[in-house]
Amino acid sequence: MPSRKQRRRREKLQRHEYEYVIETEDGEEIPIEKPVENEKRDGKSQRATPRRGGRDIPKPSMARVAKRTALFAPLIVVVVWVFSSSAVSTTARVLNAVALIAFFIPFSYLVDVLMYRVFSKRQQRGSGTG
């Protein structure tokens, strides 16, 4: 059984003439005048279609990768330290952590590049210029 809100919405869609209304807290509909569309404010044009992405994806940079590595390096060291067996020497643990961090840096940059390409292609396709 449809809820009261769904019934009101269906009734509103089935009206012959579309009315602009405001619903009060009590559920009453108050008709208002039709809002003016495509009006320029202060001489500035409005966007025809809203952007879908929400935010811009910045170009990949080594500075951002360095910040990310500085954030994840201590975590990598702790994980290597905790999960290596007690028979493994401290030098071996440190070398394992360094190897993982050395793998993390180019992999992180590669992920940034791939994400930037995908989002820029999607943005171009959405704007119709691609």
AA letter at 33: E
Bridge partners (DSSP) listed for residue 32: 20
What is the model's pTM? 0.54
Asked if the structure places residue 55 within a domain, the reply is no
Domain span holding position 106: 62-127
DSSP single-letter state for residue 14 = T
Regarding whether 116 and 66 lie in a shared domain, the answer is yes
Regarding whether 66 and 102 lie in a shared domain, the answer is yes
54-104 tens-digit pLDDT: 677 889 999 999 999 999 999 999 999 999 888 889 999 999 999 999 999
Asked if the structure places residue 107 within a domain, the reply is yes
Asked if the structure places residue 103 within a domain, the reply is yes
Regarding whether 67 and 122 lie in a shared domain, the answer is yes
Asked if the structure places residue 56 within a domain, the reply is no
Residues in CB range of 6: below 8 A, 6 or more apart: none
- Number of folded domains in the chain? 2
Nearest to 126, CA basis, from 46, 51, 59, 48: 51
